[in-house]
A and B are shown apart, each in its own frame.
Chain A
Amino acid sequence: MSIPPQALFGQLLIGLINGSFYALLSLGLAIIFGLLNVINFAHGALYTMGAFVAWFLLQYAGLGYWPALIIAPVVVGAFGVALERTMLKRLAKLDPLYGLLLTFGVALVIQGLFRIQFGSSGQPYEIPDALKGATNVGFMVLPNYRAWVIASSIAVCSVTWYVIERTKLGSYLRAATENPTLVRAFGINVPRLVTLTYGAGVGLAALAGVLAAPIYRVSPLMGADQIIVVFAVVVIGGMGSIFGSIFSGFALGLIEGLTKVFYPEASDTILFVLMAIVLVFKPAGLFGRAA
């Protein structure tokens, strides 16, 4: 079997791009899960919302890509804060399954409203001028925007990792994950920490949405199928470690890209197959701790 190197690198690039989004999304899910014990089913819908906020800003306020990169995560983060304060908070003492059901309902509402407004086809979003074109890097022609997405995803993931693992704020966060009651006894406002964590987690989803807007079209269903794949990524990686969720995001994106080259028929299913294999040999996930 001979694969032209151009096609191989092309698919690897697509794999890295997908991996960038998997990493950002699974990172957000892992942070939220750590503190709230909730699997945020609305994550895909909020990623979609991030892309739409960027589109709205361009359409109605004339604000382009760069302001949107900041504004959209803040807007969606604020929405997340409101969601946590009004709804999720009330479920804190219940079985975590209720959190899953609630956020699933929220996802349906958001997705449905966007579909009513925009249909299923989606809206195009232009690549910003500064990132148009492509660079020849010797072995392949690399589109600038795609390089930017990969670089910024790595940067954002690294900063998040640093904040959680190496700063004072992060140590509060990790302590509250282990034992919230004790952390409260030390005078730290844990409920506020929980709210802000949820806001930050969905902010990451919105950031991924803005990054994705010029690559995929801005469409109401862009997050729906994505989130199911990200769940598989989360099961494979395990949610115990921040680094684990970042690493498995990128690695699985690459594996998916390679599958497209060598056995394209399986490219839709490979991650779920891997999930099944991991469940057989290491049920807690590659980086997870056994429950």
Chain B
Amino acid sequence: MSPLKDRDAAAFLAMAALLAVAPFVAYPVFLMKALCFALFACAFNLLIGYVGLLSFGHAMFLGGSAYAAAHAAKVWGLPPELSLLFGTACSAALGLVVGALAIRRQGIYFAMITLGLAQMVYFVFLRSDFTGGENGIQAVPRGKLFGFIDLDGTMTMYFVVLAIFLAGFALIYRTIHSPFGEVLKAIREHEPRAISLGYDVDKYKLLAFVLSAALAGLAGSTKAIVFQLASLTDAHWTMSGDVVLITLLGGLGRVYGPVVGAFVIVALENYLSQFGAWITVIQGAIFVLCVLTFRQGIVGEIASLVDRARARPPPT
């Protein structure tokens, strides 16, 4: 193993260990919420951070998969593992359609198109019967995972969520560091060059988009099972804005960025929940601050501090 891989493996194990101890110190429900958002933001970061595509409509995958999983679990009575799978698959299918349309334009057009399509999906959910309109799908049963793990216990649920998050995170890490991921980065850096090297960039972009949609869907399905609720909030454009904020604050294109961002933002929303619209103002202010002063995000700034300290010659 190369030293770089050793360092990454150590970082991953440290994160896993920290999260395994966390529920004995912090409130597990809060942690589960943060983990769902962390996975959601990691999926989003795969696009913006490694392909350079800013999706402003990722709420449609979070919200859509939540409805699908909740419907499967409640109406069809499917066990949780199949409900999660169904939610993820629906999200991937939606991602295929949306992605095929959106990758026809680049840059800010891509952002506007995904935003528009997400708004369309939102209105479809608002009008459809199966989503329960303004009420959403409530009292979704958590059920028994694989027939024998009862998810009604908070701690059991927490460790299942943790396992899902770590699996999703590992998949994203693996993708980024695969030959496929290298091509994605080549497209981000210089698309015409990637084309001239013979890569079918549209195919790569679409595959990345579907993967991102599927993982966002896994996050949404998990969220629906954990909180036993699928509602319009998850599909609204403010949610698309939230995931951009989480990733920007944590660090665009940093593997751990979205995880850190998710914990900070979910904590912020928890503490500020009684202040209503002030949350919006503070979120907006964080956006402005991040864009103007620290575009690398928390993880990026820390990483460059560490690099600078390393680069400094030792005192003689």
Contact = CB atoms under 8 A, between A and B. Distances in A.
B151 to A, nearest CB: 36
B41 to A, nearest CB: 15
B112 interface: yes
A36 to B, nearest CB: 11
Contact of A115 (B280, B283, B288): B280
A228 B116 contact: yes
Contacts of B277: 112-113, 115-116
Nearest to A115: B277
B124 interface: yes
B139 interface: no
Interface centre among B116, B278, B281, B295 (most CB of A within 10 A): B116
A102 B278 contact: no
Nearest to B110: A97
A47 interface: no
Interface string B71-108: 00000000000000000000000000000011011111
Contact of A102 (B107, B119, B291): B291
B288 A276 contact: no
A234 B105 contact: no
Contact of B283 (A108, A113, A232): A108
Contacts of A225: 119
A269 B120 contact: yes
B241 A276 contact: no
A283 interface: yes
A279 B101 contact: yes
B125 to A, nearest CB: 11
Contact of B109 (A109, A235, A268): A235
Nearest to A220: B277
**Contact size class for A?**
35 or more
B225 interface: no
A280 interface: yes
Given A104-B287, A276-B101, A283-B105, A87 B292 contact: yes
A100 interface: yes
Contacts of B292: 87, 90-91, 102
Contacts of B108: 39, 96-97, 100
B116 A116 contact: no
B287 A235 contact: no
A275 interface: yes
Interface in A245-281: 265, 268-269, 271-273, 275-276, 279-280
Nearest to A231: B112
A105 B280 contact: no
B241 A108 contact: yes
A112 B275 CA distance: 11
B113 A279 contact: yes
B207 interface: no
Contact of B237 (A96, A111, A228): A228
Contacts of A87: 288, 292
A228 to B, nearest CB: 5
A211 interface: no
A279 B241 CA distance: 24
Interface in A91-148: 91, 94, 96-98, 100-102, 104-113, 115-116
Contacts of B104: 279-280, 283
Nearest to A225: B119
Given A113-B281, A265-B127, A276 B291 contact: no
Contact of B278 (A96, A101, A110, A112): A112
A102 B288 contact: yes
A273 B105 CA distance: 16
B281 A112 contact: yes
Contacts of B264: none
A228 B127 contact: no
29 contacts: A39-B111, A87-B288, A90-B292, A98-B295, A100-B111, A101-B244, A101-B248, A102-B288, A104-B284, A105-B287, A105-B291, A106-B287, A108-B280, A108-B283, A108-B287, A111-B280, A115-B276, A116-B277, A228-B115, A228-B116, A229-B119, A231-B112, A231-B115, A235-B105, A268-B126, A269-B124, A272-B116, A275-B116, A276-B120
Given A101-B290, A104-B244, A276-B117, 19 more contacts: A97-B111, A102-B287, A104-B287, A105-B284, A107-B284, A108-B241, A108-B283, A115-B276, A115-B277, A116-B278, A231-B112, A235-B112, A269-B123, A269-B124, A272-B116, A275-B116, A276-B101, A279-B102, A283-B105
Interface of B: 54, 101-102, 104-109, 111-113, 115-117, 119-120, 123-124, 126-127, 237, 241, 244, 248, 276-281, 283-288, 290-292, 295
